[in-house]
Amino acid sequence: NAGVMQNPRHLVRRRGQEARLRCSPMKGHSHVYWYRQLPEEGLKFMVYLQKENIIDESGMPKERFSAEFPKEGPSILRIQQVVRGDSAAYFCASSRSPGGAKNTEAFFGQGTRLTVV
Amino acid sequence: KNEVEQSPQNLTAQEGEFITINCSYSVGISALHWLQQHPGGGIVSLFMLSSGKKKHGRLIATINIQEKHSSLHITASHPRDSAVYICATSGGGADGLTFGKGTHLIIQP
């Protein structure tokens, strides 16, 4: 059973380009979370999705950022018109049941390191 | 809104020392997680606990629900334990995890 798979591991984009980050949850997991880790800062929640639904996007910037988790295929975090401040590590986690529930363990991917030049 | 505080922020110790990292939070939660992150690496879950104490090898995690406090202990520390240790909570009104800022641990040989 493969763990949470994120790709690419490293992504370099020029300012103004689009970045697409992919996350395949663990088998049997239908809950996906995206987190951002800015340089020298802690991890911050961005968005929580279930299959075909965004449940909570309260941590995601209102502009340029979007996320989806289609019926088939990986979850995608999309950043349009990237700026230098978007440079960060983006982590995906998945769980079998809702994250707020007791005894729900989250499993993390290796992260995607985005560098905007 | 839950606030998660960790201490110390940085810790350097000699190989073999007993290590303690502390975490406190401000609201009732479903569970508390201890995570490990090596530089440039992914995040590994060490423990998830909602009460009492758990042990895995040289690592021990405890939680006091009434005090809203948890500790992570490392016995007989080794240089390979050098990493960032992150405390996180689930529940408490949040859908995802709420994280502390992490503790940078360096174990010198």
From first to last of its 109 residues, chain B has per-residue pLDDT tens of 889 999 999 999 999 999 999 999 999 898 999 999 998 888 999 999 999 999 999 999 999 999 999 999 999 999 999 999 999 999 888 888 999 999 999 999 9
pLDDT computed for residue A43 by the predictor: 94
By three-state DSSP, how is residue B79 classified?
Answer: helix
pLDDT computed for residue A82 by the predictor: 98
Candidates B44, B56, B90: best to mutate against A (most CBs of A within 10 A) is B90
Q: How many helices (H) and strands (E) does chain A have?
A: 0, 11
pLDDT computed for residue A96 by the predictor: 86
**Peptide bond preceding B8: is omega within 30 degrees of 0, i.e. cis?**
yes
Q: What is the mean pLDDT of chain A?
A: 92
Whether the CB-CB separation of A31 and A98 falls below 8 Å is answered with: yes
| Cα–Cα distance, B98 to B15 (Å, whole number) | 31
| Cα–Cα distance, B53 to B51 (Å, whole number) | 7
Residue A88 confidence class, pLDDT cut points 50, 70, 90: very high
| Cα–Cα distance, A36 to A79 (Å, whole number) | 12
pLDDT computed for residue A104 by the predictor: 73
Chain B residue with CA closest to A90: the answer is B42
| Cα–Cα distance, A101 to A22 (Å, whole number) | 25
- C-alpha distance from B101 to closest chain A C-alpha (Å): 5
pLDDT computed for residue B66 by the predictor: 94
Whether the CB-CB separation of B64 and B50 falls below 8 Å is answered with: no
Q: What is the pLDDT of residues A101-113, one digit of tens each?
A: 666 788 999 999 9
Burial of B16 (0-12, 13-18, 19+ CB in 10 A): exposed
Chain A residue with CA closest to B102: the answer is A42
User: How many contacts (CB atoms, under 8 Å) link A and B?
Assistant: 80
CB proximity list for A73: less than 8 A, separation 6 or greater:
none
pLDDT computed for residue B59 by the predictor: 98
Angle subtended at Cα B101 by Cα A43 and Cα B66, rounded to the nearest 5 degrees: 110
Q: Which two tokens stand for residue A78?
A: 């999309």
Residue A100 confidence class, pLDDT cut points 50, 70, 90: low
pLDDT computed for residue B91 by the predictor: 86
pLDDT computed for residue A106 by the predictor: 80
Does B91 contact A44 at a Cβ distance shorter than 8 Å? Answer: no
Residue A73: its H or E element:
none
Handedness of CA B81, B82, B83, B89 (dihedral sign): positive
pLDDT computed for residue B26 by the predictor: 94
pLDDT computed for residue A2 by the predictor: 72
| Cα–Cα distance, A87 to A113 (Å, whole number) | 8
pLDDT computed for residue B40 by the predictor: 81
